[in-house]
Chains A and B, each alone.
Chain A
């Protein structure tokens, strides 16, 4: 993480955690920043509009 991110709800520093993205039969694991307190995670714009969007295109007949 280039910058320290804090959870907007809990105010604690986010920590990198491996998350499983599941869609139907496909599972994709990736480390992303998560709140150790409430479990909320942060998906940055580059991932959301880049690789996640491309994966969605493959998985949703687009």
Chain B
């Protein structure tokens, strides 16, 4: 809030209204999107706990143009959000991906983690069977097995097989990749059971970054995990958590690293740090890296290989929750852009969760047929073959925490978590109030 203190009220411009929560008591309160200089803040006042101002956008990309015509929150809409969540009739998006925690144990103790992690008993297989039976829609479900670290369970291949037998369309494991690096037979068993792709924590291309983020020099083991996934034709999406001053200068390097390992690495999914679960201390605005800054960094750090015109705001979730960009990795290693900012979605600008699921599912999964085109294939066939085999996505998801939570965004969330029989938006499920209260 230090930056706010230096500003006069005349310099503030209210550019939008929404609702949020008090980070201390959790009560839903009115909030405003406020422009101060070149930065946008979410500002709110709790009658009991005072004023809060959190930066939500920085950089040259125009905030209002980026969010476009998103439907503003009506005065009588979503008044129980996020506390009556489950999800309710007022929620505006179906499930694209459903996350299911198979353990709370982990083999790392990172300073940053959305899941608080720790010790505790794993969910028994009988419970998993019952839960999967409730959440899987045959032929449709995109399941993310998460934790904790799901690979600490020796029976993960059996869980994957079970999900596949129940009709899951895509099965993704959200992992730090360490066991896949160290235990190749285990990865082989996961692949054989029906694993579609791995969502691999990958914070940077140096051990300096790995140590800062995860406490250990993990780079070689990450590379080994990717090599092992290559052997079993398991696609890997690299997932960096972006923390200002730690790895925000490494964005371009991560994309170059990932695209150099195409077709095994299918893309990079950036997640600007958010403050829930486990984080070192309550955040200052300087501790935040906004979606706007990420957008600005991409062309700068990739020598314009990823241009702003190639990046489209999420049409499935809220525009402030993420973006996507699709490429082909060409033979010379350069990226051929397939996405245009102004082309996404259908005529009304919205994308269904099913469309989004297929968009990412078919790009993050390695092609079953990676054979080159026949000599006499025409350019259409060659293009389609390359788009299938050498697909590479640059995507992002900006999670919300108690400080920047925006109900307008939350009600459009398509990334859901199965939680004791209920389906909840990710940012509602992992919301942590100041002081650690979930």
Do most interface residues of chain A lie in helix, strand or loop, or is the interface mixed? mixed
Interface string of B315-343 (1 = CB under 8 A from A): 10000000010100000000011111001
B299 at the A interface (CB under 8 A): no
A61/B343 contact (C-beta < 8 A), A24-B337, A28-B379, A29-B379 known: yes
Q: Contact between B343 and A30 (Cβ–Cβ < 8 Å)?
A: no
Q: Which residues of B contact A24 (CB under 8 A)?
A: 337-338, 340
Which residue in chain B gives the minimum CB-CB distance to A28? B379
Residue A44 at the B interface, CB < 8 A? no
B312 at the A/B interface (Cβ < 8 Å)? yes
> Which residues from chain B contact A55 at a C-beta distance below 8 Å?
380, 383-384, 387
B230 CB to nearest chain A CB (Å): 24
| Distance of B345 from chain A, by nearest CB (Å) | 7
Interface size grouping (class) on chain B: 20 to 34
Residue with the highest number of chain B CB atoms closer than 10 Å, among A47, A54, A55, A61: A61
Does A5 reach chain B (CB closer than 8 Å)? no
Q: Given A25-B336, A25-B337, A61-B359: A51 and B381 within 8 A (CB)?
A: yes
Residues in A neighbouring B324, C-beta threshold 8 A = 61
**B277 proximal to A (CB < 8 A):** no
In the complex, residue of chain A having the shortest beta-carbon distance to the beta carbon of B312? A61
Would you call B343 and A28 a contact (CB within 8 A)? no
Chain A 37-61 interface 0/1 with B at a Cβ cutoff of 8 Å (1 = within) = 0000000000100011011001111
CB contacts (< 8 Å) of B343 on chain A: these are: 59-61
Complex Cα distance, B343 from A11, in Å, reads 38
Q: Does B378 belong to the interface (CB within 8 Å)?
A: yes
Interface size on A, as a range, is 10 to 19
Bound-state Cα–Cα, A38 to B359, Å: 40
Residues of A within 8 A of B338 (CB): 24, 26, 58-59
Asked whether A61 lies within 8 Å of B339 as measured between CB atoms, the reply is yes
Interface residues of A in 3-51 (CB under 8 A from B): 24-26, 28-31, 47, 51
Q: Are A61 and B326 in contact (CB under 8 A)?
A: yes
Rounded to whole Å, the gap between the CB of B410 and the closest CB of chain A is 24
Q: How far is the CA of A28 from the CA of B359 in the complex (A)?
A: 22
Question: Which residues of chain B in 377-419 are interfacial with respect to chain A, using CB atoms and an 8 Å cutoff?
Answer: 378-381, 383-384, 387
Residues of A with Cβ closer than 8 Å to B? 24-26, 28-31, 47, 51-52, 54-55, 58-62
Could you list some 7 contacts between A and B, CB below 8 A?
A28-B380, A30-B380, A51-B381, A52-B380, A54-B384, A55-B380, A59-B338
Binding site for A on B (CB under 8 A): 312, 315, 324, 326, 336-340, 343-345, 351, 355, 359, 378-381, 383-384, 387
User: Given contacts A31-B378, A61-B326, could you give 20 more A-B pairs where the C-beta distance is less than 8 Å?
Assistant: A24-B340, A26-B338, A26-B383, A28-B380, A30-B379, A30-B380, A51-B380, A58-B326, A58-B338, A58-B383, A58-B387, A59-B340, A59-B343, A61-B312, A61-B315, A61-B345, A61-B351, A61-B359, A62-B355, A62-B359
